[in-house]
Amino acid sequence: MKVLVTGANGFVGRTLCQRLRSESGFDEVVGSVRNVGGQSGNAMPDGVSVIAVPQGLTANTDWSAVLRGIDAVVHTAARVHVMNDTSADPLAEYRRVNVQGILRLARQAADAGVRRFVFVSTVKVNGETTPIGRPFGADDVPAPVDPYGISKWEAEQGLRQIAEQCGMQWVVVRPPLVYGPGVKANFAALQRAVEHGWPLPLGAVRNQRSYVALDNLVDFLVTCLRHPKAANQTFMVSDGRDLSTRDLALGLARAAGVSARLLPVPVWLLQSVAAALGRSGMAQRLCANLQIDISKAKDLLGWSAPVSVAEALRKVASGESTS
């Protein structure tokens, strides 16, 4: 099987390329990137054919040369969730890349005879929070809230329509927050704070959130490439073990061999202070519940996460290369 991985020098794409090169049955791995040169290009795994697509994901990108001979596509490239977006019209910017650009690729993939298109979407298609004990399922009615989630949902719908018209198999994967060595944004900020021994007001946060380790997500994407029953299905994927923000901080501390300094600040007070500082969104991500149900992946594909949460956090702490 010859596989194209878009966003091949990204957080997920690079590790996926590395894993595919080590797997039997994948005869050639092609990675598309914006720029071949520079640090990102040099960091690509050996044996991956890297092709530059300088224009990136646009409604006018010509993918014909990249798609020549490709059997399957795993699409990881996107305009990712941007904190404090300053765009005049954020939804239009997300749609330009995550809808128009992706559907251009999907249409050309179908025309080129690609058999399966695996699309890495997001749990944000389902929504932002869940009541405890009522996780999002793969077949729940989507209810995206922010521009990123809306754009991903629109892309999912467009992909299905194109695939069904052309006979191309599609697979949609909706992960929650993905973590691993080199993770950035809020997860990295929490990791630094814990490892530096800074006091954190998280001791009373007993929420439940789903996460997925990079190794586990990559393993699932490989399963979606191989498994015949993955065709034309939407899946949720996670580590299979939900954590409170408090427990996540404690797990990061254990992995780093340090003691976490967690202050038992009441959640209502933490949320009130955050609101006064204009950081309500951050408080929601720290305190709210966001659980997903991966029973469909288990039942239909026989999949379970191969890497434990403790081992995944140890890799984060050590910076160990994944896969």
CA nearest to 113, candidates 158, 177, 160, 70: 70
266 Cβ partners below 8 Å, 6+ apart? 204
Alpha-carbon distances of 270 from 80, 84, 245, 289, 323, rounded to whole Å: 27, 20, 13, 15, 38
Domain boundaries of the chain, sorted by first residue: 2-179+211-239+291-306
Please give the CATH superfamily to which domain 2-179+211-239+291-306 belongs.
NAD(P)-binding Rossmann-like Domain (3.40.50.720)
SS3 154: helix
Residue 12, pLDDT score: 96
Mind telling me the catalytic residues? 148
Give the pairing of strands 28-33 and 48-52. Answer: parallel
The whole-number mean pLDDT for each consecutive block of 10 residues of the chain, a chain of 323 residues, reads 95 95 92 71 75 88 93 92 68 93 96 97 96 92 95 97 96 97 92 95 96 98 98 98 97 96 95 90 90 97 98 92 58
pLDDT, residue 158, reads: 97
pTM of the model: 0.93
Cα angle 248-251-254, degrees, rounded to a multiple of 5 = 155
Read off φ and ψ for residue 34, nearest 5 degrees: -70, -40
Report the run of H or E that residue 51 belongs to, with start and end. Answer: strand 48-52
pLDDT (0 to 100) of residue 39: 47
